[in-house]
Amino acid sequence: MTTKSTLTAISPKPLPEGTHTCWSCGSMRAAHFCESCGKVQPPTPVDYFTFFGLPPKLTVDVAALEKEFYELSRRLHPDLNARAGSREQEWSLEQSSMLNDAYRTLRDPIKRTEYLLHLEGVALEEQSKSATERARATGEIKKQIVPPDLLEEVFELNMQLEELRMNKKMGEDDPALTAEISQHKHALEAKHEALLQELETYWTDWDNLIDRSFLDQNQGSKAPAEERAKITAKMVDVLNRRNYIRNLVRDVNVALED
Amino acid sequence: MASDHIVGIDLGTTNSLVAYMQGETPVVIPGEDGSNLVPSVVALDRDNQPIIGNAARNLLIETPERAVYSIKRLMGRAVEDIREELELFPFRLAEDLQPGEVLRIKLGDKTFTPPEISALILRQLKRNAERYFGGPVTKAVITVPAYFNDAQRQATKDAGRIGGLEVLRLVNEPTAASLAYGLDKKQNGIVAVYDLGGGTFDISILKLHDGIFEVVATNGDTHLGGDDIDNLLITIALDDIRGDLGLDLRRNAEAVQAIRKAVIEAKIALSSQPSVKLDIELPSELAGGKRYQREITRDQFEQLIQPIIDRTVGPCKQALKDANLKPEQIDEVVLVGGSTRIPKVRALVKEMFRHEPHTDLNPDEVVALGAAVQAVILGGGTQATQNMLLLDVTPLSLGIEVAGGVTDKIILRNSTIPASATQFYTTQIDGQANVAIHVLQGERELAKDCRSLARFDLKGIPPMAAGIPRVEVKFLIDANGILNVTAREQRSGKEAEIQVQPSYGLTDDQVESMILDSFDNAEEDFRRRQLIEARNEAATILGALEKGKRSAAWGQLTSDEKKQIAKMEKALLAVNADDDYQAIRRAIDALNQGTMRLAELMMDTAVSSALKGKKMDEADLGEGVTAPHPMAKAEFK
């Protein structure tokens, strides 16, 4: 099995008992609409991967995902079901909002990873964007765990930012300092980018694990929880470091603009 | 006579239009005066009857206290956020307005909410369409600025309902424009739509993909447009007059309207000529016969408006950034809105997107045409719209107020709609039965800086210990960009009751009580109006015939012809007493046909050849017969 999963290669997850016939024409149907009569079906609460008929894997063929998104939009969008009965219109609205939510989440590498972690029950709250913004707005001092490999750099940068603020207060301008800070900023941005690549290596680990446990599952055994936790912990660490750097870059931008 | 035409309506700040798909082509439906544009002006006549459009525009100068324009600026807004508007526009608010109440505007001694005034404009458009089709029109697609928030959208939808229209969809104006363009050129690529209208500015970036119009980012300013340019020129003129003549006309509504009319004409002229001369008559009792005269060159004009048009740059840059695109990646730029006729605006757009913008379609009409396309898509589609589907986005982030007065964003801006988010709530104290939720819209971090949409009260939560109830609240932005909220208590499975208090809007009951023509009566109302029109027309032709009988031409007819005419006249008089407008109309047509030779004979022999084929009611027989034929479809082709 390859780690790159295309949508066409995946057979849709079997539907729950009793829901696989179309409410309107009674024939066998696809998950969201009837392949025979085209009618939109009542939505079933599923996760975003399942919605697209995908296994919970992190390497996603985004071009294929987009194609599937357009195909499903042509079936589910309220504009194309505007003449249907009120119940069908309701389903169309729910199905297409779920389609949009799922597509928005899965096409973005970070959102996709965060979503998978959410499904795995892992909390990212501490370093998340909303938590940071909340702390910012309320003036609370938020617990910031400085990633160890950044300690030295962050320390130096903070000193320089402090100096910059002092200079500004005195109305002085130090081009050399500004240049140094900009250089730090570029280094941080490069690291931010590199972390995405690091994250992708954990995707591969995760996807391999899913493939293996999928095979095992066929023989009746469960996915090993401790192995899952080991990989998700690494992903959480990367995401936290990434968020930390993003916030830092934002602070630098603010300081430079002021 | 049943008709299932769904019309597309552009409810503009300055002008409004109604359009429909004639076969495979969208066309604008003209009004009785033959004009495609209905000025968005509403006035009350001496009998307090509403006058809409061109006729109302004249009243704007004659009786400014009984007329209103640019009402779109007030849609979905509260008294506290229109201070700026009140400085610049002659809106007269009701004196007894309570804080938190929906705005009411005074026209004469009556008051109207902005949705009611918009509803009068919509009803006029509806009537124009009904007159054109010869049947009732009850369903419409109405366009709104892409950057309109929830309250402004809701107010527009309310206006439709009050005006007797079922609003099938609210479509964003730039997106509608792209549909009109996309109809001709079915191709793939990235398109930017720059829409600078009378009062609003939108920028939308779309990805076209095999008939799917996917909006990737949108931005704008709902208070930026041609109005701002007019106000700037008015201010300059008023300052000049005060400086030169020591005359303060700021509170003189009639004079201000006269100046406004003149500067708008000057602004339009400056798009095609290098300079223009303002020459305005001032109130003689104050100015002693003096006039305000001033020459404005295009150079000066461009310098003056630069700060205004520069305000469109920020939103364009933000939209590009949100779309993750560079200007070079844009394949086409489309201009929409009357203000994009200004050469300086075109130059700015070209500079920003590095593309010569498209102007093939009339920028005043393209939005209405696109709305007509969307109307057909909703109605099941035709050959021309096959495979066409619009995927639009929400322009502003949706958030919930959380501890510390902070906005927690749950649906981010530029999310494809419909979009949803689910939040869970619990109780703080034992046995708590209600939870309050404050919904916000905007990009700022603090709740107080965002737009308050509504306060929800979750009620009837079953008594449980604190923290035990788990109320699932689903926020769903529908395809109109309007928020819907449902809630369920999960432990008990009970549907929680939601009490919505829109922060700035009409309640359902209020809308209900304002409806101008009730839906149930649409057919009846239409019939009654048609009957009145048919009788008026019958009176016109009968009057013309009387004149004809007294003319010399009458003697030239054969006795057979005279007998025939008398028979038809009698037939018309007979049906005219009944309520069947179609029978009256048939009798009118017959008489028209039968009197064609009489009409010809009545013409001066010298010109008669030129008028061959004219019917009785078209021939110039003096006063009373020049009114356009209310059902003459051919005139509008």
Separation of CA B451 from chain center: 24
Mean pLDDT of chain B: 85
A24 or B143, which is more confident? B143
Instruction: Please name the member of A74, A104, A137 whose beta carbon is closest to the beta carbon of B416.
Output: A104
pLDDT at B497: 61
At B637, is the secondary structure helix, strand, or coil?
coil
CATH topology of domain B520-636: Substrate Binding Domain Of Dnak; Chain:A; Domain 2 (1.20.1270)
Torsion of CA B628, B633, B634, B635, to 10 degrees: 40
CA distance B187 to B189: 7
Asked whether the predicted pLDDT for residue B161 surpasses 90, the reply is yes
Instruction: Give the list of residues 6+ apart from residue B289 with CB closer than 8 angstroms, or none.
Output: none
pLDDT at A2: 30
Contact (Cβ atoms closer than 8 angstroms) between residue B227 and residue B199: yes
Residues B348-368: what's their mean pLDDT? 91
User: Considering CB atoms only, which of A73, A100, A130 is closest to B408?
Assistant: A130
pLDDT at residue A12 tops 80? no
Is A141 within 8 Å of chain B by CB?
no
Q: Which of B379, B391, B476 sits opposite A73 (nearest CB)?
A: B391
Give the model confidence (pLDDT) of A196-241 as tens digits: 999 999 999 998 888 887 666 555 445 678 888 888 888 988 888 8
* Of A98, A104, A59, A40, nearest in space to A199 by CA: A59
Q: How many residues comprise chain A?
A: 258
Asked if B589 is an active-site residue, the reply is no
Which B positions 392-451 lie with beta carbon below 8 A of chain A? 402-406, 408-409, 415-421, 445-446
Alpha-carbon gap, residue A217 to A231, rounded angstroms: 19
Q: How confident is the model at residue B67 (pLDDT cuts 50, 70, 90)?
A: very high
Beta carbons of A77 and B210 less than 8 Å apart:
no
Residue B26 burial by Cβ neighbours in a 10 Å radius (0-12, 13-18, 19+): buried
DSSP B393: B
| Active-site annotation holder among B116, B130, B158, B195 | B195
Of the segments A139-153, B53-67, B596-610, B619-633, which one has the largest average pLDDT value? B53-67
Phi and psi at residue A59, to the nearest 5°? -85, 115
In this prediction, residue B177 carries a pLDDT of 94
For chain B, the structural domain boundaries read: 6-224+314-391, 226-309, 398-514, 520-636
Least reliable range by pLDDT among A20-24, A217-221, B120-124, B330-334 = A217-221
B617 sits in the region (left: phi over 0; alpha: psi -120 to 50; else beta) called: alpha
Q: Tokens 């071009």 appear where?
A: A63
Q: What pLDDT is attached to residue B398?
A: 92
Phi, psi of A144 (to 5 degrees): -110, 115
pLDDT of residue B208: 92
Domains of chain A: 1-107 (1.10.287.110), 143-257 (no CATH)
CATH of B398-514, one of 2.60.34.10, 2.70.160.11, 3.40.1710.10, 3.30.70.1050: 2.60.34.10
Superfamily of domain B6-224+314-391: ATPase, nucleotide binding domain (3.30.420.40)
Q: Mean pLDDT across the stretch A41-52?
A: 88
Q: Where are the alpha helices (DSSP H) in chain A?
A: 48-51, 62-76, 86-107, 109-119, 129-138, 151-170, 175-218, 225-257
Q: Which pTM does this prediction carry? A: 0.80
- What 3-state class would DSSP assign to B169? strand
A253 touches B at CB < 8 Å = no
> Which residue out of A97, A118, A129, A132 would a mutagenesis test of the B interface target, given it has the greatest number of B Cβ atoms within 10 Å?
A97
Alpha carbon A145 to its chain centroid, in Å, reads 22
Interatomic CA distance for residues B196 and B483, integer angstroms: 26
B72 annotated active-site: yes
For residue B403, the SS3 value is coil
Q: Does A203 contact B at CB distance below 8 Å?
A: no
Size of interface A-B (CB pairs under 8 A): 77
Give how far Cα B572 sits from Cα of B1, B584, B587, B633, Å: 21, 6, 5, 21
Answer for the pair B122, B42: CB distance below 8 angstroms, yes or no: no
- Among this protein's residues, is B195 annotated catalytic? yes
Residue B450 confidence (pLDDT) above 90: no
Comparing B261 with B462, the larger pLDDT belongs to B261
CA quadruple B539, B544, B546, B551: dihedral, nearest 10: 180
Nearby residues of B270 by Cβ (< 8 Å), 6 or more positions away: B276, B296, B298, B301, B342
- Nearest CB to A137: which of B210, B387, B445? B445
Per-residue tokens: B98:
């309570």
Tokens representing B40 are 């968005």
Query: How far is the alpha carbon of A130 from chain B, nearest alpha carbon, in Å?
Result: 7
**Contact call for B479 and A93, based on CB within 8 A:** yes
For residue B60, give both structure tokens: 């704007």
Query: Which chain B positions have a beta carbon within 8 Å of A101's beta carbon?
Result: 419-421
Q: What is the pLDDT of residue A13?
A: 46
Chain B touched by A98 (CB under 8 Å): yes
Query: pLDDT digit string (tens) for B414-431?
Result: 999 999 998 888 888 888
* Rounded-to-integer distance, Cα A256 and Cα B237, Å: 43
Confidence of residue A16 (pLDDT cuts 50, 70, 90): very low
Closest residue by Cα to residue B123 from B33, B2, B38: B38
Least confident interval from A25-29, A109-113, B84-88, B574-578:
A25-29
Give chain A positions within 8 Å (CB) of B139. Answer: none
B10 is catalytic: yes
B11 alpha-carbon distance from chain centroid? 1
Q: What is the CATH number of domain B226-309?
A: 3.90.640.10
